[in-house]
Each structure stands twice: as structure tokens, then as C-alpha cells.
Amino acid sequence: MYSFENDYSEGACQKVLDYLVAHNRVQTPGYGIDEYSEKAQDLIRDLIGNKDADVHFITGGTPCNALAINLIKPYQAVICAANGHINVHETGAVEATGHKILATEGKDGKILPEEIEKVVLSHNDEHMVSPKMVFISNASEYGTIYSKKELTDISGMCRKYGLYLYLDGARLGNALTAKGNDLTIEDIAKLTDIFYIGGTKNGALLGEAMVIINDDLKPDFRYCIKRQCSMLAKTRIISQQFIALLEDDTYLNNARNANEKAQALKKILADHGIEMFMDSPTNQIFPILEDGLVEKLKQKYRFIEWGRYDDSHTTVRLVCSWMTEDEVIREFAEDIDAYMN
């Protein structure tokens, strides 16, 4: 049984594992004030071209999201696309911090600048929450990516109305290495106020690097992490993993492999006339499969049935990871050939 279920089905990539093992017995202070954390912070500041950014290492993506959003005041709200991770798949972790999420329809999993404006203009007195942050993810929940123009427009709209722009980078590597991408990580650091670089879904055992650009959001963030139960005693193990990922091209290579393998799957399916529910250039694809084919695939592969497409078809999600190998793709191609003839 091979799993295309998600990009966190395996442990860590070899480089990360080796680094952890090599530095395992070194003694350091706890809670992220150690030499590894400093080194990883410096690496990230160099990478994004902003030496004043604050960098913190957090256990996972949901904690990053809840932490970022809880920087706004209690009566302030965050705007996101209706299918945004925070709005659907975090069991109310944002509401748990007391904040309302204002969901807009979005398009292809992405939010539109004009939607942001509409929400802001329709919240105009103290009987309603006050929008103060916009949440986007890149790559999005549907694997789509923001162009430089799109992100610039969203950022401009946020600045027009005094909103913070927060980017969930759980799959940031996949976005940056996607075919057609024209955004750099330096751009992202210029256009957003706070974002995170995802480790969990790109070859780390766990951990994300929260990057705070806007000075308003920097003070006392370590208090926030601790209070929200997301500060690891051995934070260094996250920092060490980010060093391993970022001191060379491992981070980008991991993501690129995931993208390429998923795109290869897409081509195999397209060659058999199968259409995608939504086109994605990253490591998640959403083919619309005839139900009989789904049943056959389930004998050998694990994946998520995303939703009914019509009476006889199902949209499924196939995800590749840093670890997906050519051999798997070849075998999948043979299986599809066999199933469809």
C-alpha cells in the first residue's frame, strides 16, 4: 500500500536526520535561546534579505496560525478565503483565542483584493468585529500559488486599510519551486507583515519558522509562544532541522521533488484523458476519477477522496512529498495503464 495521502506521511529527509544525529549530544540552553537557534535565525534573515526580522521556531502550522492571529486585539478579526485552513481544518483553534474569522468566497483557493475591501467596508461600527489581518496560504489549500502581482495587490489593499498580511507557508517551498512561480522569498518578506516557512511538510520531523517583519508584531512574542503551549523545551531540534534544510539547497530540492512527482502523476492521468478539478502546479493534484477507477486504485494506494464530483465520478487528492521516488511514479503509470484498458 503506497500512500499519496499527504506530504507528512514519512519522517525526515536524510540531511535533517543526519544533522540531528550529529549534534544530538551537544548541551544547549532550552526554549530556543541556544546557538543552533541563533544560527538558524541568521540563515533565515540572510535568505529573506531582512536582517531585522524576528524568527521563532514553532511546533506546527496550526500553532503558527493561532499565534499570528492572536497578535491582533480581541475584538479584531481575520479575513480569509472560505476554504482557508484556519476556517475549516483547525477545530476552531483561532476562535479558541477569541477571534472571529471573516470568510470570503475566494477563487481557486486564493483570496481576491476586492473581497478584502468589501469585508472592510461592510464592518464599520462597534456592533461588528473590526477586520485587522488577512490570512493567505501559499501554496494554497488547493495547491495553487499567488503570482507576484496578486500578492502585491493583496499587500497594497492591506496597507490601504491598515490590515496586517499573514502568509501561512506550510507549503512555501512547493510554491517557490512551482513551475510558473515568479515570487521570491525576499518578495514575500517585503509584501507581508508576518509569515512562516514550513518544515513539517517539507522534510522535517516537525517544526515551522515564524518570521516577523512588522515591528508592531515583534514585542514579547516569546511570551505568546509559551502561553499558547507551542514552545518546545528542546526548541533546538527544530532549529537544527532548519539549519540542515537551509544551509544548502535541501529545502528547495525537497519541495521541487514533491512538485515534480505530482506533476508527473498529473501528466500520466491527463494522458488518459482525466481532468483536474482545479489545476495546481505544486505537489497536490485533484483529478476527477471515475468511481470504478477509484475503487481499483484504493486496492494499492492510499489517498483522500476530496468530494463527489458527479453521480459516477469522485474528485480525489494525490500528494507527493520530498521522498516520493521515480519508481513509484513508474509503477503508478503502469497501474493506470492496466486499470484503464
Interface with its own copies in residues 293-322 (CB under 8 A): 302
Task: CB nearer to its own copies: give 11 or 49.
Answer: 11
Among the residue ranges 182-190, 209-217, 224-232, 273-281, the one whose residues contact its own copies (CB under 8 A): 224-232
The β-bridge partners of 276 are 287
For residue 110, count CB atoms less than 10 angstroms from its CB and return exposed for 0-12, middle for 13-18, buried for 19 or more: buried
- Separation in Å, CA 50 to CA 47, 55, 82, 189, 207: 8, 11, 32, 8, 21
Nearest distance in Å: CB 39, its own copies:
16
Task: CB nearer to its own copies: give 205 or 340.
Answer: 205
Binding residue for its own copies (CB under 8 A) from 107, 179, 226, 330?
226
Task: CB nearer to its own copies: give 191 or 231.
Answer: 231
User: What is the number of alpha carbons within 13 Å of residue 303 lying toward its C-beta?
Assistant: 27
Task: CB nearer to its own copies: give 129 or 274.
Answer: 129
Binding residue for its own copies (CB under 8 A) from 15, 47, 56, 62?
62
C-alpha cell at 178: 512551482
How far apart are the C-alpha atoms of 199 and 13, rounded to whole Å? Answer: 11
Task: CB nearer to its own copies: give 56 or 313.
Answer: 56
Q: What single string gives the DSSP state of each residue in 303-318?
A: -EEEEEEETTEEEEEE
In this structure, the number of other CB atoms found within 10 A of the CB of residue 29 comes to 11
Q: How far apart are the first and last CA of the chain?
A: 22
Among the residue ranges 43-51, 73-81, 176-184, 256-264, the one whose residues contact its own copies (CB under 8 A): 73-81
161 binds its own copies (CB under 8 A): no
- Separation in Å, CA 320 to CA 151, 257, 326: 26, 8, 11
Binding residue for its own copies (CB under 8 A) from 116, 232, 264, 268?
232
In this structure, the number of other CB atoms found within 10 A of the CB of residue 338 comes to 9
209 binds its own copies (CB under 8 A): no
How far apart are the C-alpha atoms of 201 and 187, rounded to whole Å? Answer: 22
Among the residue ranges 89-97, 187-195, 249-257, 267-275, the one whose residues contact its own copies (CB under 8 A): 89-97
Nearest distance in Å: CB 114, its own copies:
17
C-alpha cell at 298: 484504493
Binding residue for its own copies (CB under 8 A) from 137, 155, 200, 257?
200
Binding residue for its own copies (CB under 8 A) from 149, 159, 227, 300?
227
- The answer to whether the beta carbons of residues 78 and 84 sit under 8 Å apart is no
Q: Judging by DSSP bridges, how do beta strands 301-302 and 2-3 pair with one another? A: parallel
Binding residue for its own copies (CB under 8 A) from 52, 220, 310, 311?
220
The footprint of its own copies on residues 109-148 (CB under 8 A) is 126-130
28 binds its own copies (CB under 8 A): yes
Q: SS3 of 81, please?
A: strand
Task: CB nearer to its own copies: give 125 or 273.
Answer: 125
Binding residue for its own copies (CB under 8 A) from 38, 42, 46, 89?
89
Nearest distance in Å: CB 283, its own copies:
15
Handedness of CA 196, 12, 304, 143 (dihedral sign): positive
Among the residue ranges 29-37, 42-50, 173-181, 248-256, the one whose residues contact its own copies (CB under 8 A): 29-37
Contact pattern from residue 236 through residue 275 relative to its own copies, giving x for each residue in contact according to CB under 8 A and a dash for the rest: xx--------------------------------------
